[in-house]
Amino acid sequence: MNALQEQFIAEARELVHQATDDLMAVERDGASGERIDRIFRAFHTLKGSAGIVELPAMTLTLHAAEDLLTAIHRGRLAVSADIIDQALACLDQVSRWVDAFEADGALPAQAGDDAKAMTARLRDLLSATSPQSESAAGVARTAEDGVQAQWVSQLVDASRPRISRHLRQQPGELVAICYEPRADCFFDGDDPIDLMRRIPNLLAFRVEAREAG
């Protein structure tokens, strides 16, 4: 393990400890601007550090948590018990990944699946209270009814041969993610296209321009 990786492990544990303490303080005493700012910066730094040491599953998960905290930081979303619980669960997952990385030099084999599941839970909390919640709920209902949303059908159609080969080799469920990056993401050093391409076992990818207006 090189010096950069050792530094990442030490700093990651410190940030996880700090963010955990701050989240528990918010749960106990209520949210303050200073505390929310510290939590946001801890997640942001963790995400950037995970990217530097090339841990895409961790980066993806922390990016979803950061987007949730950004909405709180900017006053678009109120802190709730569910958000605190899920943020703490995210930190627990990150802590386990850091331990595995220290022991084995890599994340566990199931890290990609764990990242997808955690990311979905975090983004559900964001979409449930965002201006797009009505359309998101509509997509969820169509999924429950067994009817694919149009964007899912287009995604599958564009990569059907590759998806079919994958399912023949590894039968199971597939997960579709609709991700809309923040308008100012590049100013924070984020590359949303690169981030999505780092998703483990990515079978299909489609980029659409933001609608005008």
pLDDT bracket for residue 131 (50, 70, 90): very low
3-state secondary structure of 204: coil
| pTM given for the model | 0.62
Which pLDDT does position 211 carry in this prediction? 64
Q: pLDDT higher for 167 or 119?
A: 119
Q: Which domains does the chain have, with CATH numbers?
A: 3-197 (1.20.120.160)
Tens digits of residue pLDDT in 101-129: 999 999 999 999 999 999 999 988 887 54
Q: What is the DSSP letter of 187?
A: G
Which pLDDT does position 172 carry in this prediction? 66
Q: What angle do CA 90, 92, 95 make, to 5 degrees?
A: 110
Tens digits of residue pLDDT in 47-106: 999 988 999 999 999 999 998 888 888 878 888 899 999 999 999 999 999 999 999 999
Quote helix, strand, coil % in the chain, to nearest 5.
70, 0, 30
Q: Which two tokens stand for residue 123?
A: 């983004």
Lowest average pLDDT, out of 12-16, 71-75, 77-81, 159-163, goes to 159-163
Q: Does the pLDDT of residue 34 top 80, yes or no?
A: yes
Which pLDDT does position 149 carry in this prediction? 63
> What is the distance between the alpha carbons of residues 112 and 170, in angstroms, rounded to a whole number?
15
